[in-house]
Chains A and B, each alone.
Chain A
Amino acid sequence: MEHIVIIGNGISGVTVARHIRKNSDKKITIVSAETDHFFSRTALMYIYMGHMKYEHTKPYEDYFWKKNRIELKRGYVKTVETKSKTLHFEEGDTLQYDKLVIATGSKPNKFGWPGQDLEGAQGLYSKQDLDNLERNAPNNKVCKRAVIVGGGLIGIELAEMLNSRNIPVTFLVRENSFWNGVLPEGESAMINRHIQNHHIDLRLGFNLKEIKADENGRVKSIVITETGEEIDCNVVGLTAGVSPNISFIKESEIETNRGVLVNRHLETNIKDVYAIGDCAEQRDSGIGQRRPIEAVWYTGRMMGETLAQTICDNKTEYKPGHWFNSAKFLDIEYQTYGWVFAKPRENEAHFHWKHEDDTKCITVCYDTTNNKFLGINTFGIRMRHEVFDKWLTEARDIDYVINNLPEANFDPEFYKHFEKDILSAYNNNLQTA
C-alpha cells in the first residue's frame, strides 16, 4: 500500500489527508512537531482572550483520525533524504514514504534586530508562541507594557489580545498608515482611528532600532530608530510578516527559493515530493495577480483539495478562482472580493464610500476604460462571496454592481442597510467627476 507522508498538520496538510482518504485507501501519516492534533491557527488569539479553550480550536474531535485511518506522528523532521525516500527526525528515528507532501507553513520574520532573540521577544504564529505569550504576558502586573513591531494582520490581532488583558500596547508601524501597502488610503486611515479608539498607542512611520535586555537577559525596553526614544516594556511582539518554514529541507535536493518551489501541479523538482500551503512558492510567477507565496488560510485548503486529486491519480492543476479574503481589525470586519490595490493602477479608479460613524466603508475598484468591476473592499458590512464571485466571472461593470448591491448584502437580519447611501454617493461622484 502506498504510504503518503505529510509534514505539517495545519489546514493544508490536513485537507490533503482528508481528501486522499475520501478518494483512496492509501496509508496516510501526518507528522507534526507542533501539536498532537490539528487545531485552527487563526483561533490562537481567542484562547489568550478567553473566548475559547485550546480544545475548542480543534475542528475535528480526537477520534476522527483513527476512524479515518490517518496516522498522526509527533516529531520534528530534521532532514529529508529524497533518494531513499526517508525522513530523519531530530528524535533519532526515521520514516519511509512513497509520496511526500511538505506543508510546514510559516514562521515569523525577524530582520536581524539587536536583541530579537531575548526572552520576551516573540512572534505569534504557533501554539508554542501562544504558550510563550501566556508566560510572558499573563497580566498587566507581569507585563506592564508590550511593544508590537509590524503593522499587519498578526500585529493587530496581538494588539487586540494584549488589550483584552488591559496590558498597555505600543504599536510600531513602519508605514505612515496602518497596512497601507494593501489597503487604500481611506480605509487605512479609518483603521488607524479605530486602533486609537481602543487606546492602543499607535506609532506610525516608526522602526525598531534595538531591543534592550535587563540583567537577566529579558526584554527591558526598545529603542525607536527615528527618534531614539526608549520605551520600557516587558514583551516585544515581532509581527513583521511571515516567511516559509523550510529550513529543514535546505540541505536536501528539493529546490527552494524563499519557499519550496512548485509548478502549477504543486510538484517540486523531485518526483513524488509536493509542497502546499504557506511554504509553497509558485515557480514561474504568481497565478493571475496572486503572489507566488500566499500565506492565506483558504489557499492552503484549496491546494490540499487539489493535490489530493493528483495523488489519487486524477492529475489536477492548482487553479484558484477569483481572489477573496477577510480579516477583522478589532471590532471592524473586512472582506475583499476581486482586486483592490492600495493605489489604483494604470487605467484603474476607486470609488470610496464611508459611513459617518467611521466604522463602515467600501472601496470599489474599476477599469476606467470600460467601467469593468475589478474588486471591492468592504468594512463593517458583510457581503456575499457567491454573488461577487458570479459578478466577477460575468465581468459586470461598476454601474451594475453598485445598483445591485442589495443582492450581495450578507449582514444579519434587521441591520440597517446602506446601499441607497452608497448609490447616491456613487451618482454624485459621477456628476462631479
Chain B
Amino acid sequence: MSNKLNHSMSLAKPDVQDISTKQKIALATGLVGLLILILAFFNVNFPNRAVFLTLALSLITAGTVVYSRDAYLTKLEGIKNDGVWFKSISSRGAMGWALGVFLTAFYIVLYFYAELLGAGQGANGTNTGLIALFDPLSNLLSGRDASQWFVYGTLYTVAIAAFGYKFILKYRHNKYQQIRTVSVIFFQLGFAYLIPEFMHVMNSDLPYYDLKSVWPLNYYLFQDYHLNQFLSAGNIGTTLIIFGIVSTLVITPILTYKYGKRWYCSWVCGCGGLAETAGDSFRQLSSKKMSSWKLERWLIHAVLVFSVIMTVGVVSSFLKGGWVDGVFVEGNYWLSNEAFLTSVGLFLTVIFAGVMIFKRSELGKDALYGAIGYALVILSLFVVYFTGTNEEIFFVNSGTLKSAYGFYIGSIFSGVIGTGFYPILGNRSWCRFGCPMAAILGFQQRMLSKFRITTNGGQCISCGNCSNSCEMGIDVRHYAQKGENIVRSSCVGCGVCSAVCPRGVLKLENDSMDGRINPTEVLLGNDVNLMDLLNQK
C-alpha cells in the first residue's frame, strides 16, 4: 500500500529533495565541530584546549544556525513538514538507525564507561581525552576540572539552544511555539547549567542541584548521600531540601491545576527541552496504536510506584540511622522514621480516597489500575514499618532498590533508551513510558486541572496531521473527529497538533473544569434535535 518508493533505506541518495549548497556547507561546518570532539575522544592532544573547545562548539552552533536559516527563512511562514516521512533520518531509514546507534553508544559510554571519555585517566587523576577538552570551560565556570557530567551538560545545553533556534524559525508564525522554546532554552542554560556551577563556587559542599528538576524526575534528590551533602552545607542546604519538598508538594500541584502539565513538560523540563528542540524531527515516530497506549499506562505508573517505594525506603533508612565504622548510629533528626512513614501513608491514602470518592466516575477501568498501584505502595509502607528491620522494604535492601532504580530507570530508560532511541521510538519515549514525574503531573492533569485541548465544533476532517505530529503518541484525531475535547494524562501541551491542523480545529486552553470532558455522539452542525437526542443519552 505504499505510495512512495521507499528511498529511505538508501544510503547513496536517501532524500527526495536535495539540500541546497548553503545547507551542505552548514552541515559540513557542524560536522567539523563534531570531528574535533571525536578527535579529542580518541586522545588527540590539542595544543590549546580552550581555543579548540570554543571552535568545536561554535562550529556546531554556527552550522545548525546557518542550516536552519537557509531551510526556513527562504520560504514563507507556515507548516514545514515537507518530506519528513521521506527523509532517511526522520523516517527510520538508514541514517535514522545510524544516528540511533551512535547516540545509544554515546549514552552507554557516558553512564558506564566514563573512563573512555578520559575521566581521571591522566597523571594524578587529571582528565584526558574528551573530558580534558572541557576542562578550561569548567574551570572558568566553577574553578574545577570537568567531569563527564559537565561535558554532557554542556553538549546538552548547546543542543537545546542551537536546535531551539531552529525550532523557533520553523514555527516563526506561531508565538506559542516561540515563547515556549525560549523558555526551555532559558531554564536549561540558567537552571540546569549555570546556576549549579555558581552554587558550587559559592558553597562547595553543596551537591549538584538543578532547582527546576523536581522529585521524582530528580530521583536522587532525597537519597541518603545527597541529604548528607545538603545537611553538611548548613542552612542553605536545609533550605534547598525544603525547596525540593515544596516543589513537589506545593508548586507543582498549583501550576498543574492552572495550566496542565505543560508548564513543566514543555516549558521548563530539561528532558522535555531536548525532546522539543533536538528531538523535534522525530516527533512523528511515536506509535499511536491502542496497544502502545496500554503499554504506556502500565509502564509509566509502574515506574512511579517503583520510584515512590525506592525513595520512601531510602529516606526511611536514612532517618533510622546508619552504620558508621561498624557501629550503628541511630538517626537523630526532628522527623522520626515512624512519623515519616505514617505521614507518607496518610498522604497516599488521602489522595487515593479523594480520587475514589470524587472522581470515581471519570476513572472507569483505570480506577482499578490506580487502586492496585496505590494499594501496593501503601501496603509496602506498612510492611516496612511493621517488619521493623532496618533496611528492608519488600524484603529488599533499600540500597539495592536505589541502585537498581538508578541503573534501570535513571540510566538505561531515561538516557540510553529515552534519548538514544529518538530516531526510532520518537523523541518522547522516556516522557511517555518512563518518567514518574510525568505520571504524577499527568494523573493530576486528567483529574484536577483546567487544561484541555478544545476541538472546534464540526470542522475536523480527520486528516490525521494532529495525531501524526503528537510526540506523546496520542491519537488526537480520535477525539477531534468526534468533537470531543482532549483531556489526556500524557499530553505535554507542546501545541504542535494545534499548529499543524489545516482547519483550525484545536486550541490549547485553560478554562473552567465544568464540561471539560465532553464525549459526544453527534457533532455540532447537524440537526439540533438529533444532537440533543443523542448527546443526552
Q: Is the CB of A11 within 8 A of B289?
A: no
Give the docked Cα–Cα distance between A204 and B390 (Å). Answer: 85
Closest chain B residue, CB of each to CB of A303 = B526
Is there a chain A Cβ closer than 8 Å to B499's Cβ?
A: yes
Mask, A142-166, CB within 8 Å of B = 1, is: 0000000000000000000000111
Q: Does A218 contact B (CB under 8 A)?
A: no
User: CA–CA, A327 to B176, complex, Å?
Assistant: 23
Residues of A within 8 A of B4 (CB): 47, 50, 134
A-B residue pairs in contact (CB < 8 Å), sample of 30: A42-B462, A43-B465, A46-B463, A46-B464, A47-B3, A47-B4, A51-B468, A52-B284, A52-B464, A53-B85, A55-B1, A56-B288, A57-B463, A134-B4, A139-B16, A302-B527, A305-B522, A318-B527, A319-B530, A321-B524, A324-B458, A324-B459, A326-B459, A326-B461, A326-B503, A331-B78, A331-B173, A333-B503, A385-B458, A412-B176
Residues of A within 8 Å of B461, CB to CB, are: 40, 42-43, 297-298, 326
| Chain A residues with CB below 8 A from B478, complex form | 59
Q: Is A416 an interface residue (CB 8 A)?
A: yes
Tell whether, in the assembled complex, residue A320 and residue B527 are in contact, meaning their CB atoms are under 8 Å apart.
yes
The one of B79, B81, B504 in contact with A326, judged by C-beta atoms closer than 8 angstroms, is B504
- With beta carbons under 8 angstroms apart, the residue of B2, B288, B465, B527 that contacts A51 is B465
User: B530–A335 contact, CB under 8 A?
Assistant: no
A326 to B175, CA, bound (A): 23
Give the shortest distance, in Å, between A134 (CB) and chain B (any CB): 5
The chain A residues found within 8 Å of chain B, CB to CB, are: 11, 22, 35, 40, 42-43, 46-59, 61, 130-131, 134, 138-139, 164-166, 197-198, 297-298, 301-302, 305-306, 309, 316-322, 324, 326-328, 330-331, 333, 335, 382-386, 389, 410-416
| Measured CA separation A54–B2 after assembly (Å) | 7
| Residue numbers in B under 8 Å from A414 (CB-CB) | 175-176, 179
Against A, the Cβ 8 Å flags (1 = close, 0 = not) of B509-536 are 1000000000001111111111000100
Other CB < 8 Å A-B pairs besides A309-B530, A412-B507, 19 of them?
A46-B464, A50-B87, A51-B84, A59-B462, A59-B464, A59-B481, A131-B3, A164-B82, A297-B461, A301-B458, A305-B530, A316-B530, A319-B527, A320-B526, A335-B503, A385-B457, A410-B456, A411-B507, A413-B508
Given contacts A50-B82, A61-B290, A389-B524, A331 and B77 within 8 Å (CB-CB):
yes
Bound-state CA distance A130–B509 (Å) is: 37
Q: Which residue of B lies closest to A317 (CB)?
A: B527
Main secondary structure of the interface of B (DSSP, over half): loop
Q: A321-B527, A326-B459, A331-B79 are in contact. Are A412 and B290 (CB under 8 A)?
A: no
B143 interfacial contact with A, CB 8 Å = no
Q: What per-residue 1/0 map shows which CB atoms of B75-107 lie under 8 Å from chain A?
A: 011110111111100000000000000000000
Q: Does B170 contact A (CB under 8 A)?
A: no
CA distance A72 to B256 in the complex (A): 45
Question: Which 6 A-B residue pairings sit nearest by Cβ, starting from the closest?
Answer: A385-B457, A331-B78, A382-B504, A319-B527, A50-B83, A414-B175
Number of interface residues of B (CB under 8 A): 63
| A47, B468: Cα distance in complex, Å | 12
Indicate if B273 sits at the interface (CB-CB under 8 A): no
A335-B527 in contact (CB<8A): no
Which residues on A sit within 8 Å (CB–CB) of B5? 138
B124 to chain A, nearest CB (A): 53
Q: Mark B8-22 against chain A: 1 for CB-CB distance below 8 A, else 0.
A: 000000001100000
Taking the closest CB of chain A, its distance from the CB of B534, in whole angstroms, is 8
Residue among B16, B81, B85 having the largest count of chain A Cβ atoms under 10 Å:
B85
**A198 to B76 Cα, complex, angstroms:** 8
**Any chain A CB within 8 A of the CB of B277?**
no
User: Which residues of A lie under 8 Å from residue B529 when comparing CB positions?
Assistant: 319
In the complex the two chains form, what is the Cα distance from A285 to B8 in whole Å? 52
Residues of B within 8 A of A321 (CB): 524-528
A42 — which chain B residues lie within 8 A by C-beta? 461-463
Question: Does B495 make an interface contact (CB < 8 A)?
Answer: yes
Query: Which of A198, A306, A412 lies in contact with B508, CB distance below 8 A?
Result: A412
Contact of A52 among B175, B465, B521 (CB under 8 A): B465
Residues of A within 8 A of B498 (CB): 412
Give the CA-CA distance A416 to B179 in the complex, in Å: 13
- Chain B residues lying within 8 Å of A318, measured Cβ to Cβ, are 527
The answer to whether B3 touches A320 (Cβ under 8 A) is no
Given A52-B464, A385-B457, do A165 and B527 touch, yes or no (CB 8 Å)?
A: no
Among B76, B84, B457, contact of A386 (Cβ-Cβ < 8 Å): B457
With A385-B457, A389-B525, A414-B175 as known contacts, state yes or no: A46 contacts B84, CB within 8 Å.
no
Chain A residues contacting B523 (CB-CB under 8 Å) are 298, 301-302
Cβ contacts under 8 Å, B524 to chain A: 321, 385-386, 389
Specify which of B4, B86, B495 lies most central, judged by the most chain A CB atoms within 10 Å of its CB: B4
Give the residue name and chain of the B residue nearest to A416 (CB): B175
Of A11, A165, A382, A415, the contact of B462 (CB 8 Å cutoff): A11
CB distance from A81 to the nearest CB of B (A): 32
Q: Taking the nearest CB of chain A, how far is it from the CB of B9, in angstroms? A: 15
Contact of A324 with B525 in the complex, beta carbons under 8 Å: yes
- Chain A residues within 8 Å of B83, by CB: 49-50, 164
Most buried by B among A51, A197, A321, A416: A51
Give the nearest-CB partner of A49 in chain B: B82
A residues less than 8 Å from B527 (CB atoms): 302, 306, 316-321
Task: Let me know if B477 is at the binding interface, CB within 8 A.
Answer: yes
Interface residues of B in 457-496 (CB under 8 A from A): 457-459, 461-465, 467-468, 477-478, 481, 495
Q: Report Cα–Cα, A53/B467, bound state, in Å.
A: 12
Shortest beta-carbon distance, A235 to chain B, in Å? 16
Which chain B positions have C-beta within 8 A of A306?
526-527, 530
Asked if B122 is at the interface (CB within 8 A of a chain A CB), the reply is no
Q: Is the CB of A331 within 8 A of B76?
A: yes
What are the residues of chain B within 8 A of A22 when measuring CB–CB?
521
CB distance from A361 to the nearest CB of B (A): 15
Complex Cα spacing A306 to B528, Å: 11
Whole-angstrom CA separation of A25 from B500 in the bound complex: 38
B238: A residues at CB distance < 8 A: none
Please name all residues of chain A whose beta carbon is closer than 8 Å to the beta carbon of B82 when the two chains form the complex.
49-51, 164
User: B107 → chain A, closest Cβ, in Å?
Assistant: 29
Q: How far is the CA of A384 from the CA of B454 in the complex (A)?
A: 10
- Among B84, B175, B457, B468, find the residue whose CB has the most chain A CB atoms closer than 10 A: B457
Rounded to whole Å, the gap between the CB of A390 and the closest CB of chain B is: 10
Are A49 and B81 touching (Cβ within 8 A)?
yes
Query: Which chain A residue shows the least CB distance to B509?
Result: A413
Distance of A381 Cα from B525 Cα, bound (Å): 20
Question: B354: CB under 8 A from chain A?
Answer: no
Give the nearest-CB partner of A51 in chain B: B81
Neighbouring B residues of A35 by C-beta, 8 Å: 1
Q: Which residues of A contact B509 (CB under 8 A)?
A: 413
Q: Which residues of A contact B468 (CB under 8 A)?
A: 51-52, 56
Is A134 a contact partner of B3 (Cβ separation < 8 A)? Answer: yes
B234, CB-defined interface residue at 8 Å: no
Q: Check A40/B462 contact, CB under 8 A, given A320-B526, A331-B77.
A: yes
* Residues on B with beta carbons closer than 8 Å to the beta carbon of A198: 76
Contact (A412, B459) CB under 8 Å given A59-B481, A306-B526, A309-B530:
no
Q: How far is the CA of A54 from the CA of B463 in the complex (A)?
A: 11
Quick check: B464 and A40 within 8 Å, CB to CB?
Answer: yes
Shortest CB distance A45–B (Å): 9
Most interface-central of A11, A47, A57, A412 (chain B CB within 10 A): A412
Q: Does B23 contact A (CB under 8 A)?
A: no
Nearest CB in chain B: distance from A39 CB, A: 9
B469 nearest in chain A by CB position: A51
Across-interface contacts of A322 in B (CB, < 8 A): 525
Q: Is the CB of A302 within 8 A of B504?
A: no
Residues of B within 8 A of A302 (CB): 458, 522-523, 525-527
Q: Tell me the minimal C-beta distance from A420 to chain B in angstroms.
A: 17
- Cross-chain contact A413 with B176 (CB below 8 angstroms): yes
* Residues of B with C-beta under 8 A to A305: 521-522, 526, 530, 534
* A42–B466 alpha-carbon span in the complex (Å): 14
Chain A residues with Cβ below 8 Å from B76 are: 197-198, 330-331
